[in-house]
Chain A
Amino acid sequence: MTALIIDDEIQIRRLLRLALESRGYQVRDADNGRLGLQEAAFCRPDVVLLDLGLPDMDGLEVLMSLREWSTVPVLILSVRDQEHVKVSALENGADDYVTKPFSTAELLARLMVI
């Protein structure tokens, strides 16, 4: 299983890598949207963890570009907790939405489902 983490916060990436690798995932990461999309095309991950607040483009745009050619499960991981943000992310093809701060156990459980 390969997981791709697209997040600009290095701590979050490291934390997620720790958690995911301990569960047997292969982890790739990218710190902005453009690199993330390249990485997604290159390594064909089984699941994508996507932050919405990226430095170069909005997470939603990344999601939409991704959905143009891929059906890979995407889990949004964001500090934005307003309902309309969640709704628009899910409408644009996200499979799940977890708000930061998150519990690792919950995240892993959700990953298992999708």
Chain B
Amino acid sequence: MNDDYRPDPDALLAKVKREEQQKMPGRLYIILGMCPGVGKTYEMLLFAKQRQLDGLKVLLGIVETHGREDTAALLAGLTILPRQQIEHGGHTLEEFDLDGAILSRPDLLLVDELAHSNVPGSRHLKRYQDVLELLDSGIDVCTTLNVQHIESQVDIVRQVTGVTVRETVPDSVLERAHEIQLVDISVEKLMQRLAEGKVYLGERAEAAAEGFFRESNLTALRELALRFTAECVDRDLEDIRRARRIASPWKTNARLLVGIGPTPYSESLIRWTRRASGRHGCPWLAVWVEGISPLTDQEQQFLARGLGLARRLGGEVVHVAGDDVAAALLVVARERNVSQIIVGKPSRRNRWRPSLADRIIAGSGEIDVSVVRPVLGRPPGQSNAPRRRSATGASPSLREYGWVLGIIGGLTTLCWQFAFLAGYTVPALVYLFAILLAALRFTRGPMLMMAAVSGLVWDYFFIPPRFTLDINAPEDIFLLGMFFAVALCMGTLTTRLRTRGVAERRRQMETDALLRVTQSAALIPEINQGLAEALKIINGVIGADTALFVRRLDHTLPITTHSASTWQPPEQEFGVAAWSYANKQVAGRFTDTLPQAIGTWFPLQTATSVMGVVGLRLSMERDVLDFSRHQAMEAFVLQLALVLEKEHFMHAVSQAEVMDKSDRLRKTLLDSVSHELKTPLAVIRASIEGMGNATDNPYVAEIDTATKRLQRLVDGLLQMTRLESQVVEPHLEWCDVAELAEGSVAAVGDALKNHSVRMHLSQDLPLIKTDQALLQQVLTNVLHNAAVYSPEHSLIVLTASHADHTLHLSVRDHGPGLPVGDEDRVFGKFYRVPGAPAGGTGLGLSIARGFIQALGGEITGWNHPQGGAVFEILLHGDFLIHGEEIACVSGQIGKSGGATHTP
């Protein structure tokens, strides 16, 4: 076989994953259009009508008809979900009712306008998050979307139309679509509809019409929509090809890498990469190289937005630290077998300093490099996060400038005193030394000023002629120049060294904290104390209070926090915690889900399960959970989750060990005891027989009775052992129910001697395919039980009938009945009704239940309203009805025998 034509396992896996995603949760149908007014809602309603005719339960979650009559006419006959009212800032706003939709569990739910932003106070910021939750809860959703709202198309839309789209839907949502249907009409027709006023444009209709609905724009948008749909179709086609091993023309091992930084350009690079990866059908990485200098607020925001976007678009975010960005990117690229690196094109060329793109190209070797012209993204500041004053903000700097001036003044005075001793060059060296020392403490700005001011001061006060800035001797000009150069270099280098040290220390501290968290949580033998210790460390590093919820054994969240928590969240936070736990996503403040919450909630997720949630409330109200702390928190959370999981497993293992030990002991006992008992029993019974006619001698008769009872007990024990070691394998064959019932009564033998047994066997009892021996044992045990627990000479009624492929056998006695409220306990092993007469083993009914379950049936017991206990046996299986065509019966046996399944 040619290797090149082998289906790529990654691709197959991704396909399977995609299909699984589509299969298990609900399916997503997207009606895509190029702009408002093409008839998406109309198309969606037609789709819904069709589904309703197919017999599905269709519910209108939210549909905007915008007053179009033909669309509104389609609403007739469809159920509409009432909107929920949300109080916000004194106003009552209407919004789609997510919980209502989940509760009513329709087969198909219509949700118009996927890109809609929810009103404040809703659970999610965006409607597409509502839709994802609906899909996850297994509901099919049909929705509408315009192409300009697709996240990866935003740049192109802006380039083409000049309009910045704010409401976007990540491409990863579109990838979940089971079906994308394009509604396409020609631009002329749309313009005509616009002129007729059939297109809803919102309140500023005219402005919108002039700015957006130009023919050129519409043509471009139409092309975008067509091309996007074509790409989706292409991807589906590729899936089919790969699955069928049809050779595909593209590289199967492609992987893209985009380097992102704290700049406004990153977003457009990420979108470009997303589009390219969509075309290639390959994975992509977004890599951030953390440098040495701390980020400003604005940079922090750019970075957070870039990384968030990369995550939303389905990229893998990698975070590495390094001084040299190009080298770090190349290292990641080689480690991860990246085939292509995407970098931004530098805005202007610097002759002396090679750009990032140049350096990456120089070192790229066999890796392709795409240099992309980035488009400026949205300006920052739209984020609703409160702004934080950074450590390098204005007020500490001002103090530093003061210090710098003070130091220069002091040194100048000092040097002035000794100028007559040392000449004018010595002060220069003194200044340089001061700059070197100061650079260890101060930031860049004050350092630059210090270099400049000290140069000027030196010139003015010391270089002859004094008290002027003039310089006479040419070598002094050279000296001053050198002074400036050395001072600047020294200042910059030392500052850089220091910031690197600070960054290094911070990273060291985080690693150290992580280590301490792991150690304290894992090594302190008492788990609660360990968790408390770990949370204390986390609080210190993040600057927050934490609340911990550890899941209970039944996988639900408790209503109280773990004792290690340092924060008791108010009641409304529980909803956020529960959501985070159920959806395995970070939720709450600083996230897109329930951002009004006080805390940020992280699920304690491991590879296999979610162990609980941790809530984080920053100690300072105005503080922002920035990227590095978010990252650190995720690492902490993972450690906590692993520790909790380990604890859980250890608990489970020790329990299983105990169970296993006791189980083995019991089995050995039962097994050997029952076998060893059998031989002496055999001897006794044979000896009694050898003594001749036993009834002559009352002693012998007693021995005989006792032996039989012992025999039953041993048999019961053996059967129980066999049931529990799960070696009971039914051998199915056709058997006659009437014969079986009579056989059972006979098998009970002497115990029924003093009872009257009445059998009601319906006339048309069929043959049933089952294990005769097992079923007979079940019936025998139940009859024996009835005989032992009901008074002598009372009536025992055995009925047998069948209906709907189920055989009903019931045994009713006229004894005291079962203990009220505890009816099912009589099937427990060694359970004996309190105050019951001697003679039972406490095993009979338990064995009966075990056997009937092995046959795929069930047995229940209850008290008859007119007294006495009733046991009912239900057995499903294949039947052969006695009919007129007796001749065919044997043929049928063969046929149905071959086609039946073992229960």
A interface vs B, CB < 8 Å? 9, 11-12, 15, 18-19, 53, 79, 83, 100-105
Contact = CB atoms under 8 A, between A and B. Distances in A.
Contacts of A53: 675
A6 to B, nearest CB: 15
Given A79-B682, A101-B682, 13 more contacts: A9-B679, A12-B679, A12-B683, A15-B686, A15-B687, A15-B690, A79-B675, A83-B731, A83-B773, A100-B682, A101-B686, A103-B686, A104-B690
B325 to A, nearest CB: 73
B709 to A, nearest CB: 13
Contacts of A103: 685-686, 689
A105 B688 CA distance: 12
Contact of B678 (A15, A19, A83, A100): A100
A101 B689 contact: no
B685 A19 contact: no
A19 B211 CA distance: 115
3 tightest Cβ-Cβ pairs between the two chains A and B = A101-B682, A100-B682, A79-B678
Contacts of B339: none
Nearest to B707: A101
Interface in B59-117: none
A14 to B, nearest CB: 9
Q: Bin the interface of chain B by size.
A: 10 to 19
Contacts of A100: 678-679, 681-682
A12 B682 contact: yes
Nearest to A11: B683
B837 interface: no
B275 to A, nearest CB: 66
Interface string B722-762: 00000000010000000000000000000000000000000
Contacts of B678: 79, 100-101
A53 B680 CA distance: 14
A12 B731 CA distance: 32
A83 B686 CA distance: 23
A19 B687 CA distance: 9
18 contacts: A9-B679, A9-B683, A11-B679, A12-B683, A15-B683, A18-B690, A19-B686, A79-B675, A79-B679, A79-B682, A83-B773, A100-B679, A101-B681, A101-B686, A102-B685, A103-B685, A103-B686, A103-B689
B252 interface: no
Nearest to B715: A81
Contacts of A12: 679, 682-683
> Which of B678, B679, B687 has most A Cβ within 10 Å?
B679
Contacts of B682: 12, 79, 100-102
B863 interface: no
> Which of A11, A101, A105 has most B Cβ within 10 Å?
A101
Contact of A104 (B684, B686, B731): B686
A64 to B, nearest CB: 23
B690 A101 contact: no
> Which of A11, A79, A102, A104 has most B Cβ within 10 Å?
A79
B711 interface: yes
A104 B679 contact: no
Contacts of A104: 686, 689-690
Contact of A101 (B711, B731, B773): B711
Nearest to B678: A79
A108 to B, nearest CB: 10
B777 to A, nearest CB: 12
A108 B252 CA distance: 80
Contacts of B689: 103-105
B680 A19 contact: no
Contacts of B680: 11
B675 A101 contact: no
Nearest to B722: A82
A19 B690 CA distance: 7
A38 to B, nearest CB: 24
B163 to A, nearest CB: 80
Nearest to B675: A79
A19 B773 CA distance: 31
Contacts of A19: 686, 690
Contacts of B687: 15
Contacts of B690: 15, 18-19, 104
Contacts of B686: 15, 19, 101-104
Nearest to A106: B689
A100 B685 CA distance: 10
A51 B409 CA distance: 115
Nearest to A101: B682
A33 B759 CA distance: 50
Contacts of B675: 53, 79
